[in-house]
Amino acid sequence: MSFRPLMALFFFLTLGLIASAQEPVSVPATEPAPSAEPAEPAAPAGERIDVYVIPITGAINKPNLYILRRGLKEAITNQVDMVLLDMDTPGGRVDYTIEMMEMLAKFDGITATFVNPDAISAGSFIASATQEIYFAPQGKMGASAVIQGGGQDVPETARMKMESYLRANIRSITEDYPFRSDVLRAMLDAEFELKIGDEVIKPAGELLTLTAREAMREYALPDAAPQPLLASGIYDSVDALLDARLGPDQYQIKDFHITYSEVLAKWMNTFAPGLLGIGLLALFFEFKTPGFGIFGIAGIVLLGIFFISQYIAGLAGNEAILFFALGVLLVLIELFFFPAPCCLPCRASR
């Protein structure tokens, strides 16, 4: 049996999938900030609010997309009143970012983000899709220009198309917030000048990254009281935030835990590109050697791990199915690649 046609097809399909993946990166900033006045409670005294705290950490990738999707689905099923994103991210994929923004916009309850401490690049867009944005004292948010995964600039036409769509998406979500749309545009578009009244907050030629103190600074509106530029408050922890927002003993944090399949998916995503490269190299060596041997098996296994890492987070709650499929796969490998030796009577009969 020859495996070379199948290996060649698998090789070129892999190259096509690699070419379609691009990621934006992030630019950090630093500055401490003070505490802020507590917000008004969300419900009358005596009425407890159920809260889901969903961690969004690391790069914005498919595992984080699955985590947020599962969290919002469980929140709806369990009639949870508020979803709080505990966020610390340097940025990530634009396509996953847009999906996460749309999911948050469709949730009927209260949505909020705790920037703890970074919501950079894609994180700033996701935070902007929630109704309320809070900061840790060292929180930073911004630097959201769209670039490719390797740090290169996106071609001009493609960049303009992506930025136009992102700005439209932001405008549709942030219509009720006076400054948010312009602030997000200043984080995305270096040529945009952010100006409120006579004060220039960000001149053209640079990207905006806000510290917690800067996000809490108030600006006047025509015929209205001054309002904070972006943040709803600055707090040291999630508990301090919820105490101020909802009132002590007026809320209950419902259990929401990251499953081990989601943890594994996030861990695998950190070294998946390396596995992909080693797997392709192993297949290249297999093409150069006669027959089918260890390089072919290693290449297929490594590429299989790479592709599984993109979807394993979506198996949360279906781990039994995963282990059953893994068992079947191991049995097939044993049958086809490691056949049992013949017994002595069998040899004698030959």
Query: Average pLDDT, stretch 13-32?
Result: 40
Query: Mind listing the pLDDT tens digit for each residue in 123-137?
Result: 999 999 999 999 999
pLDDT at 8 over 50: no
Which residues belong to CATH 3.90.226.10 in the chain?
Answer: 23-253
pLDDT given at position 147: 74
Query: Mind listing the pLDDT tens digit for each residue in 57-96?
Result: 999 988 899 899 999 999 999 999 999 999 999 999 888 9
Asked if the peptide bond before residue 117 counts as cis, ω within 30 degrees of 0, the response is yes
Judged by average pLDDT, the poorest of 87-91, 193-197, 261-265, 292-296 is: 261-265
d(CA 284, CA 11): 9
Task: Look at strands 82-89 and 49-57 and give their pairing.
Answer: parallel
Query: Average pLDDT, stretch 141-155?
Result: 74
d(CA 80, CA 109): 8
Domain 23-253 falls in which CATH fold?
2-enoyl-CoA Hydratase; Chain A, domain 1 (3.90.226)
Query: Mind listing the pLDDT tens digit for each residue in 197-236?
Result: 889 999 999 999 999 999 999 998 777 788 999 999 999 9
Neighbours of 136 (CB within 10 A): 24
pLDDT at 48 over 60: yes
Phi, psi of 344 (to 5 degrees): -60, -45
pLDDT higher for 17 or 346? 346
Q: Kindly state the helix (H) or strand (E) to which residue 56 belongs, with its residue range.
A: strand 49-57
Angle at 209 between CA 203 and CA 215, to 5 degrees: 100
For 175-191, give the DSSP string. TTSTTHHHHHHHHH-TT
Q: Which two tokens stand for residue 290?
A: 């006669």
The one-letter code for the residue type at 50 is D
d(CA 252, CA 48): 7
Query: Average pLDDT, stretch 133-152?
Result: 84
pLDDT at 267 over 90: no
d(CA 273, CA 277): 6
pTM for this predicted structure: 0.70
pLDDT given at position 41: 46
Residue bearing tokens 């950079």: 120
pLDDT given at position 164: 84
Maximum CA extent, the chain: 101
pLDDT higher for 305 or 111? 111
Task: From 227, 167, 176, select the one nearest 197 (Cα to Cα).
Answer: 227
Query: Average pLDDT, stretch 252-273?
Result: 70
